[in-house]
Amino acid sequence: MSSTTGPVEPLLVDEVQRELRRCLDRVAALGPGRLVRPGPRPVGAEAVDDEGVQAGAPVDLLRPLLQQLADAGADLEGEPRRVVPVLGAHALGHQLAVLARDVLAAAQVRDDAAALATLHNRLVALRRTL
């Protein structure tokens, strides 16, 4: 991700943190059983799942997003990309928290408002589809 010319606004950081909390609350409320249970494809799922995969369960939306966050964090830190390990549904909230906070921290260090805006948009889209 490329940096923008403007500094990161504290309001944007607050918005990202608030949206992350909302997503984590939603994942926790669903619980492991409902995260893996297939259901109808939610409206707006394409905003999270930009590869066009037909998701049958919330976990099918979360795992690609986790990889996108890991890739964004690695790119911001200048590190090689790594595959996010597939853990049980009970660990998805923890993975989301760690990876999103890594992107948030790296974007703040690099003063990259575009990376923060992308993170915020992905979290909003995820929350709306869960």
- Tell me, yes or no, whether 21 lies in a domain: yes
* 95 Cβ contact list (under 8 Å, min separation 6): 66, 84, 87
Number of domains within the chain: 1
- Tell me, yes or no, whether 2 lies in a domain: no
Please state whether the predicted TM-score (pTM) of the whole model is above 0.85.
no
- Tell me, yes or no, whether 5 lies in a domain: no
- Tell me, yes or no, whether 1 lies in a domain: no
Say what the pLDDT of residue 122 is.
97
Say what the pLDDT of residue 6 is.
53
Q: Which residues of the chain have pLDDT under 50?
A: 1-5, 47, 52-55
Q: Over the stretch 20-57, which tens digit does the pLDDT of each residue have?
A: 999 999 999 999 999 999 876 555 555 455 554 444 79
The residue range of the domain holding 16 is 10-129
Say what the pLDDT of residue 14 is.
95
Q: What is the 3-state secondary structure (H, E, C) of the chain?
A: CCCCCCCCCHHHHHHHHHHHHHHHHHHHHHHHHHHHCCCCCCCCHHHHCCCCCCCCCHHHHHHHHHHHHHHHHHHHHCCCCCCCCCCCHHHHHHHHHHHHHHHHHHHHHCCCHHHHHHHHHHHHHHHHHC
- Tell me, yes or no, whether 14 lies in a domain: yes
